[in-house]
Chains A and B, each alone.
Chain A
Amino acid sequence: MSSAAAKKPRPKYLSLSALLFEIRLPLPGWVSILHRISGALLFFPLAAWLLYLLDASLASEAGFERIRAGYLQAPLVKAGLLLFIWAYCHHFCAGIRFLLLDLNRGIELRQARASSVAVLVVSLALTAVFGARLW
Chain B
Amino acid sequence: MVNRVITGAHYGMRDWLAQRVTAAIMAVYTLIVAVIVLMNTPLKYAGWQALFAQGWMRVATLLFMFSLAWHAWVGVRDILMDYIKHDGARLTLQVFTLLLLGVYVGWTVQILWR
Q: Chain A interface (Cβ within 8 Å of chain B)?
A: 36, 39-40, 42-44, 47-48, 51, 54-55, 57-59, 61, 64-65, 68, 88, 92, 95-96, 99, 102, 133
Q: How many residues of B contact A (CB 8 A)?
A: 24
Distance in Å from the Cβ of B76 to the closest Cβ of chain A? 6
Would you mind naming 13 contact pairs between A and B with Cβ atoms under 8 Å apart?
A39-B75, A39-B76, A40-B79, A44-B100, A47-B72, A48-B104, A51-B108, A57-B45, A58-B48, A61-B45, A64-B48, A68-B43, A88-B30
Q: Chain B interface (Cβ within 8 Å of chain A)?
A: 20, 23-24, 27, 30, 41, 43, 45, 48-49, 52, 68, 72, 75-76, 79, 97, 100, 104, 107-108, 110-111, 114
- Assembly CA distance A42 to B79 (angstroms): 13
Contacts of B49 in A (CB 8 A): 58, 61, 64
Return the chain A residue nearest B38 by Cβ. A133
If over half of A's interface residues share one DSSP class (helix, strand or loop), that class is named, otherwise mixed; here it is: helix
Contacts of B104 in A (CB 8 A): 47-48, 51
Known: A40-B76, A51-B104, A51-B111. A102 touches B20 (CB 8 A): yes
